[in-house]
Amino acid sequence: MKKVYIDTMGCQMNKSDTERMLGMLSHFDYEETKTPEDAELLMVNTCSIRQLSEDKAFSAVGTWGKWKKEFGKNIKIGFCGCVAQQKAQEIFKRAPYVDFVLGTHKIYALPEIIKRIENGERVCECTETNQTEDDKAKDFEIQRVKGVGAWIPITEGCNNFCTYCIVPYTRGRERSREPEIIIKEAKDALASGYKEITLLGQNVDSYGKDFVAKPLSDCSTNLNDNSKFENYRLAQLLRDLNALDGNFRIRFVTSYPTDITDELIQTVVELDKVCEYFHIPMQSGSTPVLKAMNRRYTREEYAKIVQKIRNMVPDVTITSDFIAGFPGETEEQFVETLTAIDEFELDYSNVAAYSPREKTVAAKWVDKFIPEDIKEERFQRLNKKIQENCLKSNKKYVGREMEVLVENFYEHKGQMVNTGKTRNFKTVHIPCEKDLTGKFVNVKITEAKTWYVKGELIG
């Protein structure tokens, strides 16, 4: 067997793409190695959300290029993912030792690319497409990372064009995958022993909105011609997955606030396998900043949605994302973000300092850019607020009995611990000598820490 090393950056969608690429590569006698020095094929699956991530990708291929050029190592180098999609041929100029560039729209071109680069060709496959690649997906198994959870993308791309975000330019317009294919992937994952299915999409609750008939006269439409699924939405997909046999959990991320329907919330309440967890990026607590970001809701509308979910779903965990130092953000507007985290009792949030991305609207507002030191200071204050709230949220569960799906077993400070997640996405550490990975166990929560809770086994 030949060895392939893939450095995967960014979100779960990229991790899922890497699993698919590893599945394809296994047909060419490649097996994964975690040691780049051992590999004949080295690939980076890039993320373009922040400049830092893009720089890391070029630095990785730069090192491999040195191995090839200066030390004469017989290796092939691939540059894949969102930066590849965005920059295409430009990658070869900046990194001439790269053998192939593979964009997010064409990952199923990989088998053909491997044949061509092995014949000494240099290949760039980044053509944008408005179709999913599901017809090709059927031919290849997915080589999932070992663990208890399987990621399954249900939509690709995004139509929202938030002014800071590169995703619509790298992942294209939103395309929903056919329900049968998703259900088959879920069945396969469950048959292989996975205990949790996470449905992925940039905007998961708009799943199925593009399932409409293509008008005969309209050749330019971006919509899939999938009219047979016309009324099929996320709630129905959750029902169909929930009906599959076995003891497993279902999650879905990421939600766009105003796309969350009452029907979807009700589905979470009713279906026993669907977990009480919503990830709903707010991005800013200030309505004028949200407007500048082209987010389609106000602070008050976001509050209403969160409140509705909390009223309907007992013990729900709601997490969010925020950007510190968006162009033009005033101190008062930033403080509104801090107060939003408290007011809406957000259990946890990811924070990023604003990073201008080429092609996006906000990247042109140079005169409104926030100085780096102020951005950094806001970033730190946001993190502090999030830590406080995370601890507060964890404390609510001390003394409660909860079901945990164990994900890992390792030594921590001289003691063996199992770690896993509750249905509502709380991380639990369970001191125990026995490896319980992959098992559902009941625990009593004994202590709250900032990022996790401690629990002891019951029974």
**Please, what is the minimum distance in Å from the beta carbon of residue 107 to ligand SF4?**
18
Pairwise CA distance, residues 174 & 201, whole Å? 9
**Please, what is the minimum distance in Å from the beta carbon of residue 277 to ligand SF4?**
18
Strand bridging mode 401-412 / 440-448: antiparallel
Cβ nearer to ligand SF4, comparing 114 with 305? 305
Cβ nearer to ligand SF4, comparing 155 with 224? 155
Pairwise CA distance, residues 79 & 85, whole Å? 10
**Please, what is the minimum distance in Å from the beta carbon of residue 248 to ligand SF4?**
28
Q: What are phi and psi for residue 183, nearest 5 degrees?
A: -65, -35
**Please, what is the minimum distance in Å from the beta carbon of residue 369 to ligand SF4?**
19
Q: What residues have CB less than 8 Å from 223, skipping those under 6 apart?
A: 210, 212, 214
Cβ nearer to ligand SF4, comparing 5 with 256? 256
**Please, what is the minimum distance in Å from the beta carbon of residue 167 to ligand SF4?**
4
Helix/strand/coil for 5: strand
DSSP assignments along 49-81, one per residue: SSHHHHHHHHHHHHHHHHHHHTT----EEEEEE
**Please, what is the minimum distance in Å from the beta carbon of residue 134 to ligand SF4?**
21
**Please, what is the minimum distance in Å from the beta carbon of residue 158 to ligand SF4?**
3
- Taking each helix axis from N to C end, the angle separating 12-25 and 110-118, rounded to the nearest 10 degrees, works out to 60
333 token code pair: 């507007």
Tell which residue, 187, 223, 154, 163, has the closest CA to residue 16. Answer: 154
DSSP state of 363: G
Residues in the chain, overall count = 459
**Please, what is the minimum distance in Å from the beta carbon of residue 103 to ligand SF4?**
17
As a whole number of angstroms, the longest Cα–Cα distance in the chain is 69
Cβ nearer to ligand SF4, comparing 85 with 418? 85
312 token code pair: 């309907």
Cβ nearer to ligand SF4, comparing 284 with 419? 284
CA within 13 Å, CB half, 11: 18
Cβ nearer to ligand SF4, comparing 156 with 185? 156
Cβ nearer to ligand SF4, comparing 64 with 297? 297
Cβ nearer to ligand SF4, comparing 165 with 405? 165
259, 203 in Cβ contact below 8 A? Answer: yes
Q: Token pair 């130092």 is at which residue?
A: 325
Note the residues at the interface with ligand SF4 (CB under 6 A): 158, 160-162, 165, 167-168, 202-203, 256
